[in-house]
Amino acid sequence: MSKKTPSNQQWGGRFSEATDEFVQRFTASVNFDQRLYAHDIKGSIAHATMLAKVGVLTDTERDQIITGLTQIAGEIESGEFQWQIELEDVHMNIEARLTQLIGITGKKLHTGRSRNDQVATDIRLFLRDEIDAIDLELVRLQTGLLDLAEREAETIMPGFTHLQTAQPVTFGHHLLAWFEMLKRDRSRLLDCRKRLNQSPLGAAALAGTSYPIDRAYSAELLGFSQATENSLDSVSDRDFAIEFCAFASLLMTHLSRASEELVIWTSAQFDFIELPDRFCTGSSIMPQKKNPDVPELVRGKSGRVNGHLIALLTLMKSQPLAYNKDNQEDKEPLFDAVDTVKDCLRAFADMVPAITAKKASMLAAAKRGFATATDLADYLVRKGVAFRDAHEIVGRSVAYGIAQQKDLAELSLAELQQFSSHIEEDVFAILTLEGSVALRDHWGGTAPKQVRQAIARARASLGE
């Protein structure tokens, strides 16, 4: 039978027997929520400052509390702080230590608040800081992409649909497609930050408090745009965590797609790019191997983050108002999603600028798949041939090229004229890969001129 341990002195007055030792371990969160300590202390300092402003605490009591909390922060950062599982969570551990340091004044800190609004405030403060850090890494990755795209604005490669050669594009244009994905991701991230930047502090357990608190002042002290409107929703809402994980899942999906292309491009069968050795590993048995482990691992971690999103959605789907113990399960998925996103962005932001394009391999690949077939069809349409007829003519031309083992640009004028008398000498200007990409000279097109203009607009959007 499990042992019984003394009741928690912060709330044990109602109870006639001690908490079961297993239940104590099962319900405790201090092993993972202690990472909120800085945000918990920040919120407590703001709360004490507000309580003094409205006359619930004296200025002396406020100063004692702030001094004590500052000392506790130092103890935690130096590793001296003794976390106690019987105190359940980060909030009670800090409050108990504060009372040890400054006596009964420490017990006054919890006036006008509950752990419910306290933890809701802590998580918002934590996630706001993490979003700011993630945004810096996201912008660093976007900047690296733009730098690489600018270097490769004229590098020709095959564009694919169904992983089959479709039309020639520039490598710079392809990289800008990744940039657009990340641009949408960043917009979602910043939108999430706007919505979470409201203060639940003062909502107390669920109904507010009878003390004359000033929630707007607390919100201002903590850098929130305003206080939340409804006390019930304030303590039970975890939309911001779900919204962040939704952002994270989409971002990781985009990084996974890019990772897949990097893995393919580094293979001997494609040989489009070279990744620096520092982002790869070798084989324990095959000495020739250079494995693209970083993009492979990022690709794999996308499933982990997707799982956290589903976990949080499932966590919240059946909860009645207001706070429930279920919400303790919000932290570990959120924390891991944050850490995973930051690590993956850092890996990509370090790796992308160091990618080396193998221009000759890309060009050779673009020549192998009749990538200018659509250009020939468009050429015939401009000569007055109906598109469906042009499509058939080009199809027969491609079949002939396959039989002759020649690309369209390698066929002679006489050979091409077998299929249509509308084909003239000027056709070769559009059958070359360079001519094909140059023709896509419009907003969003792959022409090098358009790629450079798009890069300039992208840099402006980042505030460079």
Task: Count the neighbouring beta carbons within 10 Å of the beta carbon of residue 426.
Answer: 9
Q: Which of 283, 412, 442, 461 is catalytic?
A: 283
Cα separation, 464 vs 460, whole angstroms: 6
Q: Which of 16, 78, 162, 318 is catalytic?
A: 162
Please state the separation of Cα 193 from the chain's center in Å. 13
Helix (H) or strand (E) holding 19: strand 19-20
Known catalytic residue at 308 = no
Mark 188-214 as b/e (b = at least 16 C-beta within 10 Å).
Answer: bbeebbeebbbbbbbbbebebbeeebe
Structure-token pair, residue 3: 């042992």
Is residue 157 a contact partner of residue 149, using CB atoms and an 8 Å limit? Answer: no
HEC states along 103-141? CHHHHHHHCCCCHHHHHHHHHHHHHHHHHHHHHHHHHHH
Rg (alpha carbons) of the chain, rounded to whole number: 31
Known catalytic residue at 284 = no
**Residues facing residue 281 across a β-bridge:** 291
Question: Residue 201, SS3?
Answer: coil
- For the annotated catalytic residues, the residue numbers are 162, 283
